[in-house]
Amino acid sequence: MAVSFSAETKEELCREVPSSRCCAQAEAYGVLLFCTAFSSSEIRIITGSSAFSQRLPALFRRAFHLEFDQDPDRPDHPGKQVFGITEPKKLCAIHEAFGSDPSITLAHHINLAALEEDSCRTAFLRGAFLTGGSVSDPDGSYHLELVTSHYHVSRELFSLLLEVGFNPKQTTRKSNYVTYFKQSETIADFLTAIGAPLAAMKLMNAKLEKHLRGSVNRRVNCDSANLDKAVDAALDQVEAIKRLKRSGLLEDLPEKLKQTAWLRSEHPELTLSQLAVLCDPPVTKSCLNHRLRKLMELSGR
C-alpha cells in the first residue's frame, strides 16, 4: 500500500522532538485536546502513524517527565497503536501543567497562557494535527482538517488560527468539530508553519504539475482543432481545383493561379505557409490564401 500524503506529512513532523520544554508541553497539549480521550480519569491516544507512535513517549518524557501506563509493544508496526495514562498522579500533573483542575473542569478550553511564544503556538498546532489532523493527497482536491470532540477547543482553535494568520472554515461531523482549509496555498503555509516544509513543497509541486498538464492539454486540443479546420479547408480546395480541371476552366487561368492549383493538388497536407514558400517565386501566406480563395470562387463555390 502506498504511503498516504497525510502519513508522509506526519512522518516529517515527527523527525524531531522540541528541545525546549515549553514547546514540548505545547505540542503535547495539542495532542491531548485532539486525541481520543482526555479526561480526569484517563488519557487515551490512538494513532495510525508509526512515526508518531515512536515519538510520543519521548515527547511526554520531555514535556512532563513521565511514561505512559499503556503503550504498544511494537510502535513501529503498521496499524492502530494505543497509548494510555490512567494513574491519577500522572493525570493530575498533566492537567496542572495546563492550568486546569480536572475535579472542577467540565469542558476543555485552550489555555492561551500555556502558549505564550509563537513557537509554542505552532507546536500546539503540530500536536493537534498529529492526533486530530489529516491532509488529502495533493493529486486530488485540497483539504486539510483538524478534528476535536471539544466544542470550546474548536472555537478557540479558530481564534488561535486567525491570530497566527490563517482563516479556516468550520463544520461539525457527528459529535465532532471540524476545522478545515481548502486552499492549496493556505494548506502549504500551514504545513510549513507546523514544521513540514517538504510536504508543503510537494503539495505546491503537485499543483504546478497539474496546472502545466492542464495547459498542455488545452494547447494540444486547440492545435488539433485548428489542424482539423486546416485539413477541411485543404480538402475543399483540392475538390474545387478538380472541378476547375473537369470543366476545362483551369487551362485558361493566369499562370499564378494555375501554379497555385497545381501545388495544392500535389500537396494537400501542407499548411498555407508551407505552400506559400513552394511557389515560384515564393509568396506571402495571405497572397496564397487570396489565390486559393479565387480558385474556390471560380469553381463555383
Residues that bind Zn ion (CB under 5 A): 22-23, 117, 119-120
Q: 224 by DSSP, 3-state: which?
A: helix
Question: Which H or E element spans position 43?
Answer: strand 43-47
Residue 30: CB minimum distance to Zn ion, A:
12
Q: Is the peptide bond before 72 cis (omega within 30 degrees of 0)?
A: no
Residue closer to Zn ion, measured from CB, 22 or 112: 22
Residue 21: CB minimum distance to Zn ion, A:
8
Residue closer to Zn ion, measured from CB, 29 or 38: 29
Q: Is the peptide bond before 268 cis (omega within 30 degrees of 0)?
A: no
Query: How many CA atoms, within 13 angstroms, populate the side-chain half-sphere of residue 7?
Result: 13
Q: How many CB atoms lie within 10 A of CB 43?
A: 24
Residue 121: CB minimum distance to Zn ion, A:
8
- Tell me the three cell numbers of residue 79: 496499524
Residue 117: CB minimum distance to Zn ion, A:
5
Q: How many CB atoms lie within 10 A of CB 130?
A: 26
| CA–CA distance, 105 with 119 (Å, rounded to integer) | 27
Q: 198 by DSSP, 3-state: which?
A: helix
Residue closer to Zn ion, measured from CB, 35 or 120: 120
Residue closer to Zn ion, measured from CB, 23 or 153: 23
Residue 27: CB minimum distance to Zn ion, A:
9
- For the CA atoms of the chain, what is the radius of gyration? 35
Residue closer to Zn ion, measured from CB, 22 or 249: 22
| CA–CA distance, 180 with 200 (Å, rounded to integer) | 16
Residue closer to Zn ion, measured from CB, 19 or 175: 19
Of 42, 175, 163, the residue nearest 110 (C-alpha): 163
| CA–CA distance, 1 with 195 (Å, rounded to integer) | 25
Residue closer to Zn ion, measured from CB, 110 or 120: 120
Q: How far, in Å, are 3, 143, 208, 294 from residue 182 at the CA level?
A: 22, 5, 16, 58
Residue 133: CB minimum distance to Zn ion, A:
20
Residue 42: CB minimum distance to Zn ion, A:
27
